[in-house]
């Protein structure tokens, strides 16, 4: 883990949505949730940020999201969902006050185990949280108190995910949160691409994200070695044996591009899929496979 933290201007990210009151409030709720994790001694040490929110905050991705994806370093024990719920609910009031949102009320709306009935024995279980938020004195506050809130931040926490390199992000105000390193982020996305045919899922975002992460970035041999180590670690945990030719599988490419054009609705201008995939595949092949 690096000795120094990467500063993240979370406040500016929130302010970027001020023109849209709904999006602005949702970003405030996301800001509070991230700071709640960062300010909770237990959660701050053992939850690692990843996914689209990390892409947007740390790597300036235009594919913005307010959903929060995390990996837990602790085990999926019987009462872990209740423990997380209590930790967050206890700290939310302090965080909203600290951030200057004293009238923003937040509480865990729901928390679900996946897979149901097999959470504690599954290889890769997850928790799906919905965190409700409302302004004090509003109709939304009544809905929040009745457990009927529709204004929520979604949080996914995955378990048993192997991680190799973690970075520290310093949020606006000084609170620190742990996150996937660039090597872990890239390795994770390549693993997800290779797993598409196995899970029978299409993942349009991975080629876009990988193209953004590798383009115009100085990725030296040391980092390439780390990426390959992460790729092997994450693939082997799912019984996938990656090779230098794995991205040549037509089914991997077909699934990666199946819903590519729908990204335009979210982002606007997007690169040509074939060209982006070629760049991503070329970088994959350039990793030190023979070392």
What is the Cα–Cα distance from 27 to 99, expressed in whole angstroms? Answer: 13
Domain holding 85, by residue range, is 6-180
Strands, sheet with 152-158, edge to edge from the N-terminal-most edge strand: 6-7, 166-170, 176-180, 47-50, 68-72, 152-158, 126-135, 104-114
Question: Nearest 5 degrees, angle CA 108-CA 111-CA 115?
Answer: 165
Q: How many domains is the chain partitioned into structurally?
A: 2
Domain boundary among 122, 150, 180: 180
Half-sphere exposure for 187 (CA within 13 Å, toward CB): 28
What is residue 217's predicted lDDT score, i.e. its pLDDT?
A: 87
Q: Are residues 32 and 97 in the same domain?
A: yes
Q: Are residues 124 and 12 in the same domain?
A: yes
What is residue 50's predicted lDDT score, i.e. its pLDDT?
A: 96
Q: Are residues 147 and 212 in the same domain?
A: no
What is residue 1's predicted lDDT score, i.e. its pLDDT?
A: 62
φ/ψ (deg, to 5) at 225? -65, -40
Report yes or no on 291 lying in a domain.
no
Torsion, Cα 197 199 201 206, to 10 degrees, reads -80
Q: pTM of the prediction?
A: 0.94
Query: For residue 95, which of 177, 181, 4 has the smallest C-alpha distance?
Result: 177
Locate tokens 């995910």: which residue?
A: 161
Q: Are 169 and 179 in contact (CB under 8 A)?
A: yes
Q: Are 188 and 51 in contact (CB under 8 A)?
A: no
Q: Which residues of the chain have pLDDT under 70?
A: 1-3
Q: Are residues 43 and 170 in the same domain?
A: yes
What is the Cα–Cα distance from 166 to 48, expressed in whole angstroms? Answer: 8
Domain boundary among 164, 180, 196: 180
Q: Are residues 125 and 247 in the same domain?
A: no
What is residue 235's predicted lDDT score, i.e. its pLDDT?
A: 96
φ/ψ (deg, to 5) at 281? -70, -40
Report yes or no on 28 lying in a domain.
yes
Domain boundary among 180, 196, 226: 180
Report yes or no on 1 lying in a domain.
no
Inter-residue long-range contacts of 211-216, CB under 8 Å, 24+ positions, other chains counted: 211/271, 211/276, 211/279, 211/280, 212/55, 212/59, 212/61, 213/55, 213/59, 213/182, 213/185, 213/186, 213/189, 214/186, 214/279, 214/280, 214/283, 215/279
What is the Cα–Cα distance from 28 to 230, expressed in whole angstroms? Answer: 33
Question: Nearest 5 degrees, angle CA 134-CA 137-CA 140?
Answer: 35
Say whether 224 sits in a helix, a strand or coil: helix
What is residue 20's predicted lDDT score, i.e. its pLDDT?
A: 96
What is residue 266's predicted lDDT score, i.e. its pLDDT?
A: 87
């Amino acid at each position: 883990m690096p000795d120094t933290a990467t500063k993240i201007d979370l406040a500016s990210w929130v302010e970027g949505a001020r023109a849209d009151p709904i999006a602005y409030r949702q970003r405030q709720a996301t800001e509070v949730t991230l700071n709640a994790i960062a300010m909770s001694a237990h959660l701050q040490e053992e939850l690692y940020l990843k996914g689209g929110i990390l892409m947007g905050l740390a790597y300036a991705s235009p594919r913005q999201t307010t959903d929060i994806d995390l990996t837990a370093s602790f085990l999926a024990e019987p009462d872990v969902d209740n423990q997380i719920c209590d930790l967050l609910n206890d700290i939310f009031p302090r965080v909203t006050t600290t951030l200057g949102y004293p009238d923003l009320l937040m509480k865990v709306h729901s928390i679900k185990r996946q897979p149901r009935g097999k959470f504690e024995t599954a290889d890769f279980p997850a928790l799906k949280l919905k965190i409700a938020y409302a302004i004090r004195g509003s109709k939304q506050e009544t809905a929040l108190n009745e457990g009927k809130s529709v204004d929520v931040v979604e949080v996914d926490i995955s378990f048993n995910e192997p991680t190799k390199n973690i970075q520290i992000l310093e949020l606006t105000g000084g609170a620190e949160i742990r996150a996937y390193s660039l090597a872990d982020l890239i390795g994770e996305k390549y693993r997800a691409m290779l797993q598409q045919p196995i899970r029978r899922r299409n993942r349009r975002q991975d080629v876009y994200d990988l193209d953004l992460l590798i383009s115009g970035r100085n990725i030296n041999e040391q980092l390439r070695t780390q990426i390959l180590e992460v790729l092997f670690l994450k693939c082997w945990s799912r019984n996938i044996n990656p090779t230098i030719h794995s991205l040549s599988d037509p089914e991997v490419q077909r699934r990666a591009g199946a819903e590519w054009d729908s990204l335009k609705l979210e982002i606007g201008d997007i690169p040509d899929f074939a060209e982006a995939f070629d760049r991503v595949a070329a970088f994959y092949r350039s990793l030190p496979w023979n070392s």
